[in-house]
A = this chain, B = another copy of it.
Amino acid sequence: MNETLHYLLMVNHLAFQKALLMGIRDTNLTLGQPKILDYLRDHDGAVQKEIAAACYIEPATLTSILSGMENKNLIVRRMQGNNRRSLYVYLTKQGKELAKQVESEFCRIEEHALREFSDEERALLNDFLIRIKDSFEKKEDL
């Protein structure tokens, strides 16, 4: 059981997340916020539905995380164009600064985790993880 795929994925994901939260404790970001910042850094102006899907959380969960972030002035939600159903989410100046800090911490931890991997091994690992991800996405028989 300590060597099953699901266990190793869980352990590594949670260890990664824990390390991140340690590394950005000074920012006062709460549990759910860093991943949103990280996503918005590359997708500023995304719609909530898209953010929720990319971060693998439910829209209802995102609603509450974004409310917290809006109160801290990290993001703004705007209606836009003739679409009065979707809300477009933008980083504020403060949000962008924190997003940068989060990213650099993500990089630092990632480098630490992979420091003994060769370039070839890194590429292979990446390929493996993407193949697993793909297998979950086409879920005919799942």
Interface residues of A in 79-102 (CB under 8 A from B): none
Interface residues of A in 49-101 (CB under 8 A from B): 56
What is the CB-to-nearest-CB distance from A8 to chain B, in angstroms, rounded to a whole number?
4
Interface residues on A, range: 35 or more
Report the Cα distance A109→B17, complex, angstroms: 24
Interface residues of A in 5-59 (CB under 8 A from B): 5-6, 8-20, 22, 35, 38-39, 41-42, 56
16 extra A-B contacts, CB within 8 A, seeds A3-B126, A113-B136, A116-B131: A1-B39, A4-B106, A4-B110, A6-B16, A6-B20, A6-B110, A9-B13, A10-B17, A12-B136, A13-B14, A15-B136, A18-B56, A112-B141, A113-B132, A117-B128, A124-B124
A positions within 8 Å CB-CB of B: 1, 3-6, 8-20, 22, 35, 38-39, 41-42, 56, 106, 109-110, 112-117, 121, 124-126, 128-133, 135-137, 139, 141-142
